[in-house]
Structure 1
Amino acid sequence: MKTLKDIKLSMLDLVAIREGRSVADALAVALSTARHAEALGFTRYWVAEHHNMPGIASSATAVLVGHIAGGTTRIRVGSGGIMLPNHAPLVVAEAFGTLAELYPDRIDLGLGRAPGTDSVTMRALRRDRVETEDDFPREVSELQQLLGPVQHGQRVVAVPGAGTNVPIWILGSSLFSARLAAERGLPYAFASHFAPRQLLQAIALYRSKFQPSAVLDKPYVMIGVPVMAAPTDEEAEFLASSNYQRVLGILNRNRRRLQPPVAHFMDKLRPEERAAIGDFLAAGVVGGPERVREGFARLAQLTDADEFIVVCDVFDPELRLRSLEIAASAMEK
């Protein structure tokens, strides 16, 4: 069983647009946060693809990956993830191949099979394409080929892209993605930051079915962890109300920009609303330094994860940086 010191710490940024602020502000906050995470020793900084959502500014994911990689020096930067139903694999290979040439050994390509949006927007992205369950595994294979060495007789070559061998991760919140990652011998990132229900079952399946590959000789598990840390438990719970409001908006299909914190927000909700938010954030860690350390230790014991990738949506950007400092410190004890 790993200790907290054995577990790598990374960050997934949804690039929230805050109420009363601009998209440009959200992008600037993302870069400053990435620089802070790098200074704290985080392993990687990922951004997630979403579309047609008023509170999220990471729709042009590859562009943002390049912006953050260009503004940092060591931290790995990547997608958590690129949603393959929205893109032709060749376009993804060329984009991330270009990033890999610009920032060698620093780019990750996390892949998901959800559209990251609603059905109307998905049609706007890929027009009349109809997805089947077989498409995602086939397109992952296509991307692996496009990013690998050029084969004799290969008619379509990603330029840039070919030979860059950008590390591919399988992202998911289901047993389907766990099985695919295991069969391909790829690292697996479970989306427990918003869908924790099948976390333990999925990573157990991944480990039991894992087949060593050219890129990975044993299973590697990353789990998403919502984190809200502050000097006291009470302040952390207050700051977390911004996230609770975001989750309630998702559940009620009333998505908005990230809202300022509200005192005693959960106390004002109906029991079923509190329960739904609790289920959504069941893998979350909220509190002062000791509670954060205990929460991380509990997740480590439950999952034996190799890496935590935290989501930290604090409304005040400076308090967000402080939250990451507390989280990083908790992992060192």
Structure 2
Amino acid sequence: MDVIDLKVVDAVARHGSMNKAAVELNTVQSNVSSRIRSLEDELGVSLFQRSAKGVQITPAGRRVLPYAARLAKLLSDASAAARDDGKPTGVLEIGTLETTLALRLPLLIARFAKAWPEVRPVVRTGTTSSLIQDVVDCKLEGAFVAGPVSHPELQADTVFNEELVLVTSRAVRTLEGVAAISHLKTVVFRVGCSYRQRLDGLLASLGMVAPEPLEFGSIDAIIACVSAGVGITLLPRGVVAHAWQEGLVAVHEIPPAFAQVETVFVRRLDGHFSSALATFLDSVHTEGQARGSNIRQLA
């Protein structure tokens, strides 16, 4: 197995077609098919299932794919390291939680982009679990996720501290009043969101069984549903500050064990730490120190 083999496996897996992979690799289909067959013979396993409709990757092939991504990242890092003379340039692709994007990043990114116009920031959102996996798989240079994070392939640095609050409709006056809600629903992000897990734990501490959740993809949609009395949610205090000030929702303090959460930035230990990322993280830490970790005053 060599670098070209892994590139071919990756291309075929992405396209589900030998022919389309050949076009991307600037070769002919017979070369791609021959390369895959030779690799399968060498490994003694089938990497793809062939059919009239194309090819489908096998479990063995899926186990190989992460190494293709890592090798591609290593080659990219080597090239980037050779060109990186300390001045931030190029694409900076990072991930973030929806809440961190809404609360912390807009001004940071705007100021960074103005200070370093030769860097093009690309920001993608997701849940803590999906973002961590994207960093591990070398799809992102790093990501802001909810901590703590312990992973053998990642470095995790705390950048912000947030206070989570229980958010309900204005009809709910106290935390204890949540237990009296009939047909209670939680309004949350999709599976993999750490705040969702904390909400389930909080309800359990109140002697309640976590109900079937309603999943939404945006903060605005979640807050609107809670305001309408559809259900309850758990979010950073600063994220719901405006809705609380407008009288749209009620905010309830919760025990520190559930309220205090770190936002950490994770990146691969073996990845190239680019000048663009280093400079961006410096600005993040500076901003975090200037603002402090307590955002209670926003509410």
TM-score normalised according to structure 1 size: 0.23
Structure in which a larger fraction of residues adopt strand: 2
TM-score normalised according to structure 2 size: 0.25
